[in-house]
């Protein structure tokens, strides 16, 4: 689990099977498919925002935040967005942490103990 700060809030993020379920339940889409489409975030550093989907990124963060709070009351997406207050998309540091958590949680490779 990782933590990021967006706007006024510090958020825990947990990329887990529960997050996959929540994403499908909440947004009617597959999280991994949407995550793969977000891989073009690299273009932001080149100042090409044409493929950037800010809402999709926020949906990913919302779901991983919700998964980190399993068993606790959690706001709906719209209320959660309102609680953030503001978002600085020019701050790449939190976007990097989000993508690292997603990658480590959803794209782990099983390693054989006998293999180096």
Give pLDDT tens digits for 44-89.
555 666 667 889 999 999 999 999 999 999 999 999 999 998 999 8
Q: E-strand spans in 1-116?
A: 2-6, 9-13
Q: What is the pTM of this model?
A: 0.84
Per-residue pLDDT band at 38 (split at 50, 70, 90):
confident
pLDDT of residue 12: 97
SS3 112: coil
Kindly tell me if the per-residue pLDDT of 110 is higher than 60. Answer: no
SS3 51: coil
Q: How far is residue 19's CA from residue 69's CA, in Å, rounded to a whole number?
A: 11
pLDDT of residue 8: 81
């Amino acid at each position: 689990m990782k933590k990021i700060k967006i706007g006024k809030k510090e958020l825990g993020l947990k990329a887990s099977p529960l997050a996959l379920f929540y994403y499908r339940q909440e947004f009617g889409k597959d999280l991994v498919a949407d995550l793969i489409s977000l891989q073009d975030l690299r273009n932001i550093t080149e100042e090409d925002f044409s493929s950037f989907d800010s809402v999709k990124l926020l949906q990913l963060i919302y779901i991983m935040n919700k998964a980190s709070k399993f068993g606790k009351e959690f706001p709906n997406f719209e209320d959660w967005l309102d609680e953030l207050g503001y978002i600085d998309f020019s701050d790449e540091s939190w976007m990097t942490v989000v993508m690292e958590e997603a990658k480590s949680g959803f794209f782990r490779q099983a390693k054989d103990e006998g293999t180096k």
